[in-house]
Structure 1
Amino acid sequence: MISKRLITAGITLTVLFSACKTQELRMSTAKEATATEKKVVVYQVFTRLFGNKNKTNKPWGTIEENGVGKFNDFTDNALHEIKDLGVTYIWYTGVPHHALVRDYTAYGISNDDPEVVKGRAGSPYAVKDYYNVNPDLAENPAKRLEEFEALVKRTHNAGLKVIIDIVPNHIARKYEGKSNPEGVKDFGTDDNVNVEYDRDNNFYYIPSQHFEIPDGDIPLNGEKHPLIDGKFDENPAKWTGNGSRKIKPDQNDWYETVKVNYGVRPDGTKDFPELPAGFDQKSFKEHFAFWQDKDVPDSWKKFRDIALYWTAKGVDGFRYDMAEMVPYEFWSYMNSSIKMKNPNAFLLAEVYNPNEYRNYIRLGKMDYLYDKVETYDKLKDVSRGKSSPDELTEIQNRMSDIEHHMLHFLDNHDEQRLASPDFAGTPERGKPLMVVSATISTSPTMIYFGQEVGEAGNEDAGFGKPSRTSIFDYIGVPNHQRWMNDGKFDGGQLSDSEKNLRDFYKRLLNFTINSSALMGNFEEIQSANRQNNPNYDPLLYSYVRWSEKQKLVVIANFSSEKESEFDLKIPSTVISKWNLKDGSYVLVDKLYSESKTYLTVKNGEASARVKIKPSESFIYEVN
């Protein structure tokens, strides 16, 4: 295994070195197996918050006090408006039934102990029953699965596709598969609990030791509850979801979950077949064929069957939580099985280690990974004055062979809101970040509900703290509620600035999904302007994108204070590739069509006079 990893690393280094020799980035050949001809835009919604009209927002409030959104709040009109925003996929976050503090015993659901639940509404990543959905989201909890199936149908009828979460690395401490299909056994049913590890155990154990509640967190903020007694019955104790092997996890551990065993021994070695050399170049069909005669750990089969269950219900793809904590051999097994049922399935993984990106894409058969550590972090640093935008080019060159597979975002349920004081500070300062994020590569773009109307995550929800919209509490999302307008979904309560912001997102996203150039070539023009243009401000960033049918010049001003006026230089290398003859060409901004300038080409070189306001961006098309 060590030698194979070194060989793989050597190949990767060679590819990276080659990519860095050129400033031009073309569509990667790896893209061809998964890509559409147009940009993909994912709209992430936290499902229980989307339709909530209640504006009370009491910290630690109950459903009765703070309200909750339902599947049925995604009306045909709501879905039409999301589609009209320029969206192609909806990621419904928090759909699988997870642990929460609410009495649903009338529906055959056991109560969860608040001492192993984060918040009152519970973490969506502590799944309690993988074959059913969160009862909070249903008008009639007894019919909750049928209500979700109806949502899938409505979403498809609106011309959108559906993504839900699968959390492979861990499950709720009190997992109960009350909805298992016939013949499906619960996690841990056949485990040998007398040993720390067995390949076909679903969990890791601490034999003969009782689990202990961690110190620190105060369940339900000190509210009395019959199950709050300082203990939770788990004997023997299991490893915690983030890998803690303590019988008493730390309060910062994922103590509400237990880690799933995929056949990785406690010393980190692998107790399952490995992929042969060269499988990073094989198709999903070849990966699927490889596993057909292999003996694999029981947890692999359980999660494959879970994914295929939801695929059969019309779910078009999955977002995999903390995928890098699970071996990529499992992902080869899992994802190839899904692709055999739906070759167009959208498979997105949360992976944060750049050294492993290519393994999870090429060996794990992931379509897309979070581009958090590279593009997101760099844009955040630029917005905070901690970095130069020049380094964005280095990132594009460094990942040129996998750029299509790196999903771009500026806002999601885990991160600080783009408009929060801890990030861009205002929605307007987020605009140039969004333009660059959405147009610099061929990768999908994702936005988080409320981002398009400037939600800043200011609410003290209880367990969840301001700057992020809580995923643990019942809460309303104020800016989004103003757009929702009591269920009309027409923006009727938005301020003028919020309406203008949503219009900006609508223009940008719709342009991206219809632009052939954004699925084509990239070349930076930043260095030419930085070196040869004394009026070119350090907080400006520029590049070109093109296809056979379309040529674009993108300019973003990351300064929130300074207007710039300068002659933008477009190098002769670009002009040659564009086959532009000497003369004058009109540059028309595709965001608003109000700004235009002229590109003058002389002796194979070109320039255009540009005047750009603070936090403004242009996407100029060459006419």
Structure 2
Amino acid sequence: MIGLSCEQEKKQLKTVASEVTTAKKKYVVYQVFTRLFGNTNTANKPWGTIEENGVGKFNDFTKKALAEIKDLGASHIWYTGVPHHAVIKDYTAYGISNDDPDVVKGRAGSPYAVKDYYNVNPDLAVNVEQRLEEFEALIKRTHEAGLKVIIDIVPNHVARNYKSISKPKGVKDFGEDDDISLVYHKNNNFYYNPNEAFKVPEWKNGYSPLGDEKHPLEDGEFPETPAKWTGNGSRQSQPDMNDWYETVKVNYGISPDGNKDFDELPEGFENEAYKTHFEFWKDKEVPNSWIKFRDIALFWLDKGVDGFRYDMAEMVPVEFWSFMNSSIKMKNPNAFLLAEVYNPSLYRDYIKKGKMDYLYDKVQLYDTLKHVMQGHGKTDNIPPILEELGDIEHHMLHFLENHDEQRISSPDFAGNPEKGKPAMVVSATSTTAPTMIYFGQEVGEDGSEHAGFGAPTRTSIFDYVGVPAHQRWVNNKQFDGGQLTSQEKELRDFYKRLLNFTITSEAMVGSYADIHQYNRENTEGYSDKVLSFVRWSGNEKLIIISNFDDTNIQEFNLKLPKEIIEKWNLNAKDYEVEDQLYHSFKSTLKVENGLGSIKIKLKALESFILKIQ
């Protein structure tokens, strides 16, 4: 192929992250669905009860279990599903009201239909009366293991039957002081349909809330007058069964016609630090719901929680996040604040104005990697994403699995956990942003169980279920992988090597440049099944290359363009390079006439992190 001119090289080669001038850290978040982690019951009966299918407990996170998670490479653990949400289990002996299956999804309930923000899911406790104390003990054990604690806050909606029996003195429930004669008022916590009663959705396609079993409260009715608007924004008194009917939408001071009953941030405030945001709100009258959620966050910070994952944050106004997150940062400047935002046009507002630390990089990097893993996407589409997000790259958390997404091993995704390897290398090493993995991902869990509510391919978050591959690692709570297959052990070893490398490598918080496009133009045999880029710092220079082809070896002379050779101050000579994952591949970087070249031979689905010696 015809080589590019120097000016063409500079135009095509984009340095996404400049040399680091501020201290950054590379974090790894281990997301665990708390009630599933320690469950060793393998029955997996569809719609099974807690007695039939079992449930994990806070106490299952032993010192050994936490040490293994830390050893995997994690810095933070996100305990998903901790706040007390609606469940189909009788806890009335403990003063907890029963939940109506007509407004609960699954038998174990959605973790995003929170019923009491000032306590934890009773399913997770050995002693229900001491459930909060058991979680506080888990926080302490987690910290002793060297891990930080993240829990969920779900600001957009609460359970249809929200009722806190644990709230501190002086705290009022959501909706307790609402004027229910009005559709909307700034300080109402909910929106209402006055003089209309709520109606349970019309079930279709043979659906029944608990499968074949009939529950005493399953009668197609739920007392709620007047009807409240539903969590996803449906204003119907009878929402559709595909709506978030088990939740009600929280009012943040935005009227039904879209008017904001609160101050907006002054122009240029996206450039101000959280302390300035905090001062801005100190003398402002804000909607009551803002105060309620701020106080909930501060309550959990006092318990030792280190950060929050915010569900559907983009459905809540950015001004609230300025108020909320600046209050949190004033109490704990190092709090880890992660938000679910799916609209790229909102990313910068929620980071800069809303003071979020991290957002999901789903609709761009995750979706693109998924297409490549499935064999119908090109690696050519990845570098432009990294370039577009270059100014906020540190804030865009990367993942390949979470509780909302299909398991890599499921047939509807990739059908093979090995296909996650090159994507995981790219996901974990291409930016300074945190990496997140979902429990069981590291051993190839496939999400094939028919648990009840919802379809397989995702590990159920609504029902009591065992997680088979993960259970083999748990090994009767020895947490030593004793029952894993050889392939599962090798996969976990891969994740362990990769994640630990990312949190110790200086270059992972340094600079990035694309060399993929240059090689597509100039390297014979280099295809759209391969991706390459470079990362570097003052003391470490890395060349990262991944083969997404699941059948073919990729062999070619990888080239380093003149701009990288100059940036790295490389002389005209040979340099040894060695893979940092397995240390089984070595080659030579030859620098001649200002260009670099390395002979590469990649097996199917293989990746190298080559370090210049």
TM-score band by shorter chain is over 0.9
> Secondary structure at the residue paired with 2:584?
coil
> Hey, what does 2:5 align to over in structure 1?
none
> Secondary structure at the residue paired with 1:420?
coil
> Hey, what does 2:349 align to over in structure 1?
359
Larger deviation, residues 196-205 vs 457-466: 457-466
> Hey, what does 1:511 align to over in structure 2?
501
> Hey, what does 1:499 align to over in structure 2?
489
Counterpart of 2:593 in structure 1: which amino acid? N
> Hey, what does 2:30 align to over in structure 1?
43
Contact conserved, 1:196 with 1:204, CA < 8 A, in 2? yes
Counterpart of 1:24 in structure 2: which amino acid? T
Contact conserved, 2:12 with 2:517, CA < 8 A, in 1? no
Distance 2:116 2:19 in 1: 39
Q: CA deviation at 1:386?
A: 2.5
> Secondary structure at the residue paired with 1:178?
coil
- Alignment partner of 1:534 out of 524, 527, 530: 524
> Hey, what does 2:16 align to over in structure 1?
25
Distance 2:84 2:168 in 1: 15
Q: Closer, same or farther in 2 for the Cα pair 1:441/1:134, shift >3 Å?
A: same
Deviations 1:84-126, CA, capped at 9 Å, x for gaps: 0000000000000000100000000000000000000000000
Deviations 1:216-264, CA, capped at 9 Å, x for gaps: 2411113121111111000000000000000100010000000000001
Contact conserved, 1:20 with 1:398, CA < 8 A, in 2? no
> Secondary structure at the residue paired with 1:220?
coil
> Hey, what does 2:239 align to over in structure 1?
249
- Alignment partner of 1:570 out of 553, 560, 568: 560
Q: CA deviation at 1:422?
A: 1.5
Check if 1:310 corresponds to 2:297.
no
Distance 1:336 1:143 in 2: 32
> Hey, what does 1:14 align to over in structure 2?
none
Distance 2:416 2:520 in 1: 27
> Hey, what does 1:225 align to over in structure 2?
215
> Hey, what does 1:119 align to over in structure 2?
106
Counterpart of 2:150 in structure 1: which amino acid? I
> Hey, what does 1:275 align to over in structure 2?
265
Distance 1:225 1:536 in 2: 61
Q: CA deviation at 1:28?
A: 9.0
5+ residue gaps, structure 1: 1-18
Q: Closer, same or farther in 2 for the Cα pair 1:69/1:335, shift >3 Å?
A: same
- Alignment partner of 1:149 out of 132, 136, 150: 136
> Hey, what does 1:66 align to over in structure 2?
53
Contact conserved, 1:165 with 1:318, CA < 8 A, in 2? yes
Deviations 1:142-183, CA, capped at 9 Å, x for gaps: 000000000000000000000000000000000011001000
Q: Share of identical aligned residues, percent?
A: 66
Counterpart of 1:399 in structure 2: which amino acid? L
Check if 1:194 corresponds to 2:184.
no
5+ residue gaps, structure 2: 1-9
> Secondary structure at the residue paired with 1:422?
coil
Check if 1:474 corresponds to 2:461.
no
1:6-21 alignment runs, 5 A limit = none
> Secondary structure at the residue paired with 2:391?
coil
Check if 1:407 corresponds to 2:397.
yes
> Hey, what does 2:4 align to over in structure 1?
none
Distance 1:199 1:561 in 2: 60
Q: CA deviation at 1:387?
A: 2.0
Q: CA deviation at 1:27?
A: 5.0
> Hey, what does 2:585 align to over in structure 1?
595
Give the paired residue count: 601
1:579-618 alignment runs, 5 A limit = 579-618=569-608
Contact conserved, 2:76 with 2:150, CA < 8 A, in 1? yes
Q: Closer, same or farther in 2 for the Cα pair 1:505/1:484, shift >3 Å?
A: same
1:64-143 alignment runs, 5 A limit = 64-143=51-130
Distance 1:428 1:478 in 2: 18
- Alignment partner of 1:238 out of 228, 234, 256: 228
Distance 1:320 1:268 in 2: 23
Q: CA deviation at 1:360?
A: 0.2
Distance 2:277 2:571 in 1: 49
Distance 1:28 1:308 in 2: 36
Contact conserved, 1:28 with 1:404, CA < 8 A, in 2? no
Check if 1:339 corresponds to 2:329.
yes
Counterpart of 1:275 in structure 2: which amino acid? L
Contact conserved, 2:196 with 2:226, CA < 8 A, in 1? yes
Counterpart of 1:539 in structure 2: which amino acid? K
> Secondary structure at the residue paired with 1:430?
helix
Larger deviation, residues 458-467 vs 613-622: 458-467
Q: CA deviation at 1:415?
A: 0.3
TM (normalized to structure 2)? 0.97
Q: CA deviation at 1:385?
A: 2.4
> Hey, what does 1:15 align to over in structure 2?
none
> Hey, what does 2:150 align to over in structure 1?
163
Distance 1:471 1:28 in 2: 42
Distance 2:13 2:332 in 1: 37
Distance 1:132 1:600 in 2: 61
Contact conserved, 2:24 with 2:432, CA < 8 A, in 1? no
* TM superposition outliers: structure 1 runs of 4+ over 2 Å: 19-22
TM (normalized to structure 1)? 0.95
Q: CA deviation at 1:359?
A: 0.4
CA RMSD of aligned residues (A): 1.2
Q: Closer, same or farther in 2 for the Cα pair 1:157/1:27, shift >3 Å?
A: farther
Distance 2:261 2:210 in 1: 41
Contact conserved, 1:214 with 1:255, CA < 8 A, in 2? yes
Counterpart of 2:15 in structure 1: which amino acid? E
> Hey, what does 1:175 align to over in structure 2?
162
Counterpart of 1:468 in structure 2: which amino acid? R
Contact conserved, 1:44 with 1:448, CA < 8 A, in 2? yes
Distance 1:111 1:553 in 2: 57
> Hey, what does 1:422 align to over in structure 2?
412
Deviations 1:306-340, CA, capped at 9 Å, x for gaps: 00000010000000000000000000000000000
Q: CA deviation at 1:502?
A: 0.3
Q: CA deviation at 1:538?
A: 2.0
Q: CA deviation at 1:464?
A: 3.0
> Hey, what does 1:561 align to over in structure 2?
551
Distance 2:377 2:474 in 1: 37
Q: CA deviation at 1:383?
A: 1.2
> Hey, what does 1:379 align to over in structure 2?
369
Check if 1:522 corresponds to 2:512.
yes
Counterpart of 1:223 in structure 2: which amino acid? E
Contact conserved, 2:12 with 2:518, CA < 8 A, in 1? no
Contact conserved, 2:118 with 2:164, CA < 8 A, in 1? yes
Check if 1:214 corresponds to 2:214.
no
